Structure 1
Amino acid sequence: MGLFNLFKKPTILQDDFFGALRFVDFKDASKNYFEGKGHFKPTDSNTEYLIQADKDGPTDNQKQFYVDLQSDFTKYIQKIKPLIEDEFRNWKEDFEIKDFNKEFELVCVTIPRLDNKPVIWDMAFKTVHDLNHQVTIDFIDNKPNGILIDG
């Protein structure tokens, strides 16, 4: 990489579904992704997305993944609540989520390459319980697989 490559203009793709996406390019093309921001219907707010894809942009299957995630979001919340509660109980013994939508805000979704099996992806939330940390839930296919509280 030459000095001038550090200052080259980022590649922006105007996707018909996701809107404006900035391409992040790596020498290892399997690590390439797009980043953008858009409306997430279940929370009626904007969220960021990282879409693992080649320079051609997101696939139709990835767009369907995002549609399905929005349709099934309530089911995912029910799956991840116990993980979050268990993790927070390491710091606060009686921790309980009373109203997920008021206590947690989705900030980012990773939309994976769907040709890789199993499908590994994540969702990240900020929370009123700790403004200095973000809660990331890792998934394998449709099952929560791990939690990271990072700040």
Structure 2
Amino acid sequence: MSILQFLKKRFSPLRISDPDFGSLLYMRIPNAPERSYWECEWNFPRTGTNISISLPGDESGPWEESRQFYFEAVERFDQILAAVRPKLDEVFMEWLQREVPDYMFSELRLAGFDLQESRAQPVKWDITFETTGKKWLGISIPFEGESPGDATVDT
């Protein structure tokens, strides 16, 4: 690798245009290249809103398992919402002293998905929401496979 290529790779992140996800930016992790990933804003078909997503992969692009995860998330979005509702209710009770409304998107916005290990079994990922009311909360719920963990709240 020439010094010019080295400098370009180091200071100018790789970008590609993906037919499914749009403009992707490569986030190279020098000390752990196997943890490198692509990120983008994707118009999530089920909500019609732009969300942040991460797709593990290498410099050639996202791994097929990463791509498949998001296509499947679209199909199983109702099951994902059913799994996170009790965790969201816990957050709302602690921070807002009430439950999540029946139509959760009247007070929540899907902010994104973070896929950490698309090739692991079970797959490790997070789903993130933001409240839209007077009090802003960032709510991240980790998953191992289909099992949600405890929510983390940012204020």
The verdict on a shared fold, with TM-score over 0.5 as the criterion, is yes
Aligned-partner Cα distance in 1 for 2:11–2:97: 51
Counterpart in 1 of 2:73? 69
% identical aligned pairs: 22
Aligned pairs (5 A) from 1:111-130: 111-129=115-133
Aligned-partner Cα distance in 1 for 2:120–2:100: 35
CA pair 77-130 structure 1, distance change in 2 beyond 3 A = farther
Count residues in correspondence. 148
1:81–1:97 Cα contact (<8 Å) kept: no
Counterpart in 1 of 2:12? 9
2:143–2:149 Cα contact (<8 Å) kept: yes
Which of 89, 92, 98 aligns to 1:88? It is 92
Report deviation, 1:33.
Answer: 1.2
Q: Give me the TM-score of the superposition, normalised by structure 1.
A: 0.86
Aligned-partner Cα distance in 2 for 1:67–1:7: 31
Give unmatched runs, 5+ long, in structure 2.
1-6
2:41–2:53 Cα contact (<8 Å) kept: yes
Give unmatched runs, 5+ long, in structure 1.
none
Counterpart in 1 of 2:49? 45
Q: Give me the TM-score of the superposition, normalised by structure 2.
A: 0.84
Amino acid at match of 2:48: D
